[in-house]
Amino acid sequence: MDQKQEEEAAAHTEQFESIPWSSLVPDADPRTRRILIIVATVVAGVVIGLIGGRLIRSTTQSGVVVLPSVGAAESVAVPAPAAVPPPTSPIAAQPATPTTVVLAESIQTPLPPRLFSEADLMAVLPEEEMRAAVMRAEWFVTDFFTIDGGSSSAGDITDALPDGHAAVPLPHQSTEAGISYVEWARAYRLEPLGPARYRVFVAFRTLGGPAVGNLTRAPVRAVTVDVEVGPDGATAVSDFPSPTPPPATLALTPVEVTEMDAPPEVLADALQAATTVGSDAAPFLAGLDATGWRVVVLVGDASGLRWPLVVRP
């Protein structure tokens, strides 16, 4: 290749030069850079001041700080530190207020388990006391008014009473003829007289007469019996029974029934229900009341008597 050809080849070759990027950006003004730094510092100070002021206010308003403790539980009043925001913060400093410091042990320590004594475990509950008093009163009335010529003993009466009552003559010790059976005895009222002491109102009815073959049913009578209940549930009667009027009978408005012939299926259901009580059942009266059909059925039993019963099919 001659010199001329080399010159032409060099003329067609492209040449590239590296230009730094910094040379493309104009130099920043030193004053602008300083302003940006100051603005960033002020913004950071304001954010820190807002967060710090909020935390300090939440602590001073609640007034309770829980600290771990290994000693006895106690409360100590200490001053809370005042909030000091940065100079550029718009939040004013919070005033210092006393803060109550409660040791964690005073909150988390459970109550010690209660130890029950043997007397506590054996103590009778009030409901059991009342049931025991009612039982003893009905029992005592049944024994007291029952004389059957041998099976009842005056000892059953005196054993339930305190010492000194044995000097009073009892009909159970009499040699005179006489029979008395307690048909039923029911307590209908209870009055507390003091700790473990109750006055029980008992209604009862007796069958009595000069001999077994000549007994009559006496009217319902009532007495009060004072009963004491011991810690272990034992009971005793403190004195002889005292007379009291029996409970009165409440006067009710008669049932309004419109008499009419009942359908065959209603009568059949009524007679079927009556067979659970007796035999030879027969309808006597039927009608309608406020609740529906009311059928009066006569039912017989082994005595040869017939008893009127009401059936509501």
158 pLDDT higher than 70: yes
250 pLDDT higher than 80: yes
Mean pLDDT over residues 81-106, rounded?
Answer: 49
Of all residues in the chain, what percent carry a pLDDT higher than 90? Answer: 44
Mean pLDDT over residues 266-273, rounded?
Answer: 95
Mean pLDDT over residues 282-292, rounded?
Answer: 94
9 pLDDT higher than 80: no
Nearest residue to 189 (alpha-carbon basis) of 130, 148, 240, 102 = 130
pTM value is 0.57
pLDDT of 44: 76
pLDDT tier at 210 (50, 70, 90 boundaries)?
confident
90 pLDDT higher than 60: no
102 pLDDT higher than 50: no
Of all residues in the chain, what percent carry a pLDDT higher than 70? Answer: 64
Mean pLDDT over residues 243-253, rounded?
Answer: 94
pLDDT of 76: 46
| pLDDT: which is higher, 80 or 135 | 135
Categorise residue 241: left if φ over 0, alpha if ψ from -120 to 50, beta otherwise. Answer: beta
In order of 1, 4, 15, 139, the CA distances from 9 in angstroms are 10, 9, 13, 143
H runs (alpha helix) in 145-188 = 154-158
Report the top-level CATH class of 121-243: alpha beta
Q: What is the pLDDT of residues 211-220, one digit of tens each?
A: 878 899 999 9
Q: Are 258 and 268 in contact (CB under 8 A)?
A: no
- Burial of 224 from C-beta contacts in 10 A (0-12 / 13-18 / 19+): middle
pLDDT of 116: 47
pLDDT of 192: 96
Domain extent listing, the chain: 26-104, 121-243, 258-311
